[in-house]
Chains A and B, each alone.
Chain A
Amino acid sequence: MSAVLDTGHFAQRLVRRTPVLAIASGKGGVGKTWFSVTLAHALARAGRRILLFDGDLGLANVDIQLGLAPRLDLAAVVGGRSGMEEAITPYPAGGFDILAGRSGSAGLVALPPEAVDRLARELARTAQAYDTVVLDLGAGVERTAWRLAGASTACLVLCTDEPTSLTDAYAFIKLSLRANPTRDLRVVVNQAASRGDGERTYRIIAKACDSFLKITPPLAGIVRRDRRVHESVRAQSPVLTRHPRTPAAEDVTAIAAEIARELGRDGS
């Protein structure tokens, strides 16, 4: 077992695989898409070449949150009408690139496993032109999201203080670890009333993981609830453009800085 893992690490170094950060939640509506967009934006502002990949194949909305109308999207790639590079839309205002998903396309959710695996391989190849890929995953129990998450380097699991969000995030962590016990999973508490509240929420999920899974996923950060988030989502413009100093923007920027530091240290 460990020999296999070692070879994997070694191979990874050789081909210098671009890190893929998956953003998962298990439950919809916790702010996955907003967080993905803002994290991509913050990493881009820190000088990294970023691709934001909308992997929420059921209810894609990166393009909607940013007010874009991309000519090509993931559906075109899956349908063989476009290559993946071709389907990428630049987003100059944010300084990063986007591969749009497809809103309300049930066909994408029901992709057969082989097609998803092909997609994951193509993503890994396309990613080589970037420093980091941010992957917005769909509802965590969808098989498609699951397989895409399996192709990621690290996974940020978003949750709020709502019990359903906590149990879903826990289920996602549990299943992820079962599929790959060495997976790099970290918790982000979103929509926290305060830092203290966010820490309390993190302790709940950490304690549950510790009790039942004997593992404690680290805290990647706390993002405070902030009405400017909603305002900028409604205005279809990124919060970091409109209100770079608002609490939620600062929180995500801090998380991005920490991630950028870590990725830089790994030399990828």
Chain B
Amino acid sequence: MRLRTFSALRLAEAMAAVRAELGPDAVIISTEADERTGEARVIAAVEEAETEDAFLDHILFPPRDRPGRAHLSDTVANALDRTGAPARLAGRLIALARASEAADPALALAAALDERFAFAPLGVASDRPIALIGPPGAGKTVTIAKLAARAALAGRSVGLITTDTARAGGVEQLGAFAQAIGIGAAAAEEGPALTAALDLVRARDLRLIDTTGMNPLAEDELRRLAEILHAAGAEPVLALPAGLDPLDACEIARVAAVLGARRLIATRLDTVRRHGALLAAADGADLAVAELGFAPEILDGLAPAAPMGLARMVLQSHSASEFHPQARAADGSP
């Protein structure tokens, strides 16, 4: 359970903050008015099943050989060092893992990641259109296809639009994916065409916008992207490919944040062993981790981000040749 207190001048504002931060499943625990200031104070809570279930599994069905405490923090520290994450961040996570008092490395690291990072999966529906932004080749188009396929499989209606009309094949690539999933896709250069295209798919549960690769150092390109996002009223979400230098990743993430991004999708996680760039970027730009992309396949290559999955990835990727957070989470092996 996550428990939070929200204060605002008016009750409605506090309630809106509850929904915005804790989502639609939040339960209002109490509401009161501050005697002195008259401020509304709302205490709200949400259940977070995954971590607690993991705790329960661990306690009731413990692994036979439980490592001692010293060993536990060594395991976490070694794994974090190997990610190439900035030393200060790694040190902070190690301290949090130790403080968690969790009894196995994956749980301890998950607790630390949960404390330090926010996790906010995209789900299969959204009021605002979602625009994927990121460097060329990040996996934006493929990730859009994955998100669309997931929503379609969940019985949701999906609208696809690409603004990547300049690059050769940009439109065709998305069109091919859309056809494979059995939905339509539209191309729109910018401004009015985009608004019109969005209007056509207004009623869809999930509207996804593909964009041209962004160069974080080219101001004019960024300005054009900002205009597109504004015209669409879209939530920009950063697609961040694995394997970048952590500082470069951090810079890209900060640019994305300036463009309005609040979360990122980590892509191509299966192609590298070290994930320091992802940690550095999410931390440095204060972006929530939304999804983890770990295979090029459209149907099975994306998992909603959660502390446990990320912890296992950090702990295992140095030795494992293949990584599949869903499978590992399901069989529960540490």
Residues of A within 8 A of B (CB): 106, 109-110, 112-113, 139, 141-143, 146, 163, 166-167, 170-171, 174-175, 178-179, 200, 203-204, 207-208, 211-212
Contacts and interface: CB of A to CB of B under 8 A. Distances in A.
Given A175-B52, A204-B43, A207-B30, A141 B69 contact: no
B30 A143 contact: no
A212 B47 contact: yes
B103 A211 contact: no
A167 B103 contact: no
B101 A141 contact: yes
A36 to B, nearest CB: 19
Contacts of A109: 69
B156 interface: no
Contact of A203 (B1, B3, B30): B30
Contact of A142 (B3, B27, B56, B103): B103
B2 A167 contact: yes
Contacts of B47: 212
B60 interface: yes
A141 B45 CA distance: 21
Given A113-B62, A142-B101, A167-B3, A175 B30 contact: no
Given A106-B68, A143-B103, A211-B45, A167 B59 contact: no
Interface string B82-113: 00000000000000000001110000000000
A203 B68 CA distance: 38
A206 B107 CA distance: 27
A138 B56 CA distance: 16
A137 to B, nearest CB: 13
Contacts of B70: 106
Most buried by B among A141, A167, A207: A141
Nearest to A208: B45
B49 to A, nearest CB: 10
Interface of B is mostly: mixed
A109 B67 CA distance: 11
Going nearest first, the 10 A-B pairs with the smallest beta carbon separation are A211-B27, A207-B29, A146-B59, A170-B1, A143-B59, A212-B47, A163-B3, A167-B3, A175-B56, A139-B101
B60 A179 contact: yes
23 contacts: A106-B69, A113-B62, A141-B59, A141-B101, A141-B103, A143-B66, A146-B59, A163-B3, A166-B3, A167-B3, A171-B52, A171-B55, A174-B52, A175-B52, A175-B59, A178-B56, A204-B30, A207-B29, A208-B27, A208-B45, A211-B45, A212-B45, A212-B47
Nearest to A179: B60
B58 interface: yes
B101 A167 contact: no
Nearest to A107: B68
B105 to A, nearest CB: 14
A95 B45 CA distance: 44
A178 B45 CA distance: 20
Given A141-B55, A141-B103, A143-B62, A212 B1 contact: yes
A212 B60 CA distance: 21
B102 A212 contact: no
Contact of B1 (A112, A113, A141, A208): A208
A175 B62 contact: no
Contacts of B2: 167
B102 A141 contact: yes
A75 B170 CA distance: 68
Interface string B105-138: 0000000000000000000000000000000000
A141 B47 CA distance: 18
Nearest to B27: A211
A114 to B, nearest CB: 11
B138 to A, nearest CB: 36
B55 A175 contact: yes
A174 B27 CA distance: 16
Nearest to A139: B101
Contacts of A179: 56, 60
Contacts of B59: 141, 143, 146, 175
Interface string B54-83: 011011101000101110000000000000
Contacts of A112: 66
Contacts of A106: 68-70
B68 A110 contact: yes
Contact of A204 (B29, B58, B69): B29
A30 B101 CA distance: 16
A185 to B, nearest CB: 16
Contacts of B68: 106, 110
Interface string B135-162: 0000000000000000000000000000
B255 to A, nearest CB: 34
**Among the interface residues B1, B55, B58, which one has the most CB atoms of the partner chain A within 10 A?**
B1
A110 B66 contact: yes
Interface in B142-190: none
B63 to A, nearest CB: 10
A198 to B, nearest CB: 14
A141 B59 CA distance: 7
A29 to B, nearest CB: 12
B30 A212 contact: no
B60 to A, nearest CB: 6
Contacts of B62: 113, 143
B65 to A, nearest CB: 9
A171 B3 CA distance: 12
B307 to A, nearest CB: 15
